[in-house]
Amino acid sequence: MELRKRKIRAPLPIFVTITLFLLQLWAVTAHTNNSGESSAQPSVNSPLVKTSTRLLSSSPSFTGKRFSFRFRWRKRRRRNKVNRASIEFLFAHNLIRARVGEPPLEWDGRLAAYARAWANQRVGDCRLVHSNGPFGENIFWAGQNNWRPSDVVKVWADENRFYDVKSNTCQPEQMCGHYTQIVWKDSTKVGCARVDCSDGGIYAICVYNPPGNYEGENPFGSYTDNIGLTRDDPPAVIV
The tens digit of pLDDT for each residue in 112-143 reads: 999 999 999 999 999 999 999 999 999 999 99
- Residue 220 exposure: Cα atoms within 13 Å on the Cβ side: 16
Comparing CA positions, the residue from 236, 237, 218 lying closest to residue 227 is: 218
Share of the chain above pLDDT 70, in %: 58
- 16 three-state secondary structure: helix
pTM of the model: 0.61
> What burial letters (b/e) apply to 202-217, b meaning 16+ CB within 10 Å?
bbbbbbbbebbbbeeb
Segments in 100-128 forming alpha helices (H)? 109-121
Amino acid at 8: I
pLDDT tops 90 at residue 162: yes
Range of 36-45, 51-60, 68-77, 133-142 with top mean pLDDT: 133-142
DSSP 235: P
Instruction: Give counts: helices (H), strands (E), the chain.
Output: 6, 7
Looking at CATH, the fold of the domain delimited by 84-231 is given as: Pathogenesis-related Protein p14a (3.40.33)
**Residue 236: beta bridge partners?**
140
How many Å apart are CA 236 and CA 128, to the nearest integer?
Answer: 8
Domain boundaries of the chain, sorted by first residue? 84-231
